[in-house]
Structure 1
Amino acid sequence: MNRRLALPFLSLFAIHLNAYGANMTQPDIKQNPAPKMRYEITATIDGAPGPFDRIHGIADYRVTNELCVPPTPVMGARIVPEKRADIEFRHDHDNIYRATVYLDLLQDEDYFGKGTCHWALMAAGIELTHATVTFSASLFHDDLLAGNAIPRYFAEGSYTKSQTVRVDTGIADRSQFHGAGRLFSVTMKAEERKP
């Protein structure tokens, strides 16, 4: 997955899709009744210039084997199902927040009569809102499984100049910041939790 894609811009699979002239209905995506692949996501906020009005988590899932999806009749494109789920970040202590996410939240099933569709967690993210600005940091699949700590850097000025509604996805490498002022960071890391 292209890491430059910000989590808020990952598309959702619409209830009814009109692709290349073919109307395709979303299957009844089921949640796994007993998910077992549990990970704890830790988000550490360092140096933020002030508090946040809202802290919200999201997890994006996608079917990984597109051949389980029928092609559209006109162009033959396969519209692979995606689904977003909310996750709750709880304040642990100081500047640390934790959330639980399940890799197997969605049920692998034959949704289209073409074989079992397998779901995977593509990314987990946190959204921190101050006034009209939402700061977004994400942890993508490979880094999540590897337990890598992934920082995202934001300009302090983006926090203080919050008159315009926008999503700030920050930068991955602080050395690439060429603006004036200080930075704050949100570092995300996952750890597997056995049931």
Structure 2
Amino acid sequence: MEFKGEWQQILRCKWSVVVLAELGNGTSRPSQILHRHPDLKPKVLWQRLKKLERFNLVQRFPFDGYPRRTDYRLTEEGAKLAQWAKSLLQSGLTLDELTTVLRCRYMVAILKLLAQQPRRPKALKARLKIADKLLFERLAKLEKLGLIWREIVPTRPIQVRYHLTERALALMPLLTDELCEAGFKPQITG
């Protein structure tokens, strides 16, 4: 259940999402991004900008003179992705929570399955071929993050079903192929 396409790996990095969102807000200089996000190290910012440039999501505009400066602007494809990145950051998840979810293939798979329909743990286990302990750890973590909720059905025996929350819906374009279906297909250069 890995992401298709190398460009989607960009979105699994918390700082790439932040850089895209900042550029989408009109920020064009790296120093401005560093000022707004003190935890972001300059080396990491430059690596992310180069990667985004390689995927044709941003364009680099160096200026001569003193002091030297470089502006970055989103391409048409980058602007589409920046809109999604901004809404993702407004979803209420912290950057660390976001990367925790996106890097765990089981959490991604659980969210995809729950997007189709509410499911019982037994059905999730059968589809994912996962150990009980691991499944319940991932379900507990997703529930703690507020991405899923548990419904207890008062039958004999008691049944438990898991559902997606509204918060999880902000993640779904990344987890599914909605971005590709919406016409987002950046080209990789060099």
Q: Shorter-normalised TM-score: what interval?
A: under 0.3
TM-score normalised to structure 2 length: 0.27
TM-score normalised to structure 1 length: 0.27
Greater share of strand: 1
Give the structure, 1 or 2, with the largest relative contact order (CA under 8 Å, sep 6 or more): 1
